[in-house]
Structure 1
């Protein structure tokens, strides 16, 4: 039966609708680094849309794509293996730069070690060594 406004009540087992854009953004106090200037501010502003886009994707897509590219870099010991690792270096470097202000010493060391390893892997595949 409809109510006085002509709307039917929702079915008791009906699921609430998700927002059109996918998952809602996580709660947080700030999206940008407070007081950022220059390059950091520009990078954060330009990265806002790609970060929101990545957050709206299903959670498994980015890790699966990165693992496939990295495994290709390990398996193919030629120029094409190095090419496969380049997007992984770019993505990891971008996320490391974006998260740098909020990291402690251990997190920073881990990101530097990971990027160093990926760069050496790509250099090896390109025949630099």
Structure 2
């Protein structure tokens, strides 16, 4: 199977970005291309498994899965942030916060 074509555009990086964003975008390029070329079903299935596993596994194991999922979604949200409308930004912040809170609850700290 041939790889999917890359999205249209003349730059992989955010124009005029600061040094932090540029460094994160540069370090994210290879994983993003890998995710782009992976079969479409892998990402949603892996995220669903991490979420369900995080809820079902008690203690640290569940907290780690939920924390990793929160970090992954936060990473994607950071990369997409400049192009998101306000509602999309708020939704991503809420999702990351809820996953982090569930991870803390699952860990047994609270």
Q: Which has the larger radius of gyration?
A: 1
Contact 2:51 2:69 in 1 (8 A): yes
Larger RCO of the pair (alpha carbons < 8 Å, separation 6+): 2
Partner residue in 2 for 1:89:
70
Partner residue in 1 for 2:53:
72
Contact 2:71 2:96 in 1 (8 A): no
Partner residue in 2 for 1:62:
43
TM-score normalised by the chain length of structure 1: 0.79
In the TM superposition, residue 119 of structure 1 has moved relative to its aligned partner by 0.4
Gaps of 5+ in 1: 1-17
Aligned length: 110
TM-score normalised by the chain length of structure 2: 0.92
Distance (whole Å) between structure 2 residues aligned to residue 84 and residue 34 of structure 1 = 34
Q: Counting helix residues as a fraction of each chain, which structure ranks higher?
A: 2
> 2:94 aligned with 1:126, yes or no?
no
RMSD, matched Cα:
1.3
Distance (whole Å) between structure 1 residues aligned to residue 50 and residue 81 of structure 2 = 24
Partner residue in 2 for 1:115:
96
Distance (whole Å) between structure 2 residues aligned to residue 23 and residue 38 of structure 1 = 30
